[in-house]
Structure 1
Amino acid sequence: MGDVLSTLWEVEIVIADLTGRNPNVFYEVGLAHALLRKTVLLTQNADDVPFDLQPIRYLMYGVGSSERQKLRDDLSKRLRALIQQGQG
């Protein structure tokens, strides 16, 4: 847990994959939000996003090559936007 907190203190943006509904990931997302870190949520299945996180925009992805390319493009756009927000 110390490593997670230490990392969250150092980063500006957190990328979290909610696929599979891993409780540790949800806990880490909660910590990131409490520390006011910008967070990008990913999932392969919209049903893995709990109702209280659904208002937060998330990126869907698949495992095929075209879906991976779309994720790369979408993630790049989202990260650029978050970085620009931090500079403005």
Structure 2
Amino acid sequence: MLTGKQKRHLRALAHHLTPIFQVGKGGVNENMIKQIKEALEVRELIKVSILQNNDDDKHDVAAALSEGAGAELVQLIGHTVVLYKESKEHKTIELP
């Protein structure tokens, strides 16, 4: 569980990132979660964009992504989800 100070630090780091995944009409599926897990292992911090054609509630999508990938939900702003998971091999982010 992240503290408020840690989330604030991660939000600042994520500000300049561009979303590398998009959740569309198909919603969240196993293949997407597998790819997100792999990306989190390499990058630790990613953004996921929820497209307008997705019928699910954005809070449900964010929860499904974070639970499925075993990641922390840092932020949900608009239709963008920021996820963080500490990497085992490629650790680059130092939390305060």
Q: Normalising to structure 2: TM-score of the pair? A: 0.37
- Structure ID, larger Rg: 1
The structure, 1 or 2, with the larger RCO (C-alpha pairs under 8 Å, 6+ apart) is 2
Would you tell me which structure has more strand in proportion to its own residues? 2
Would you tell me which structure has more helix in proportion to its own residues? 1
Q: Normalising to structure 1: TM-score of the pair? A: 0.40
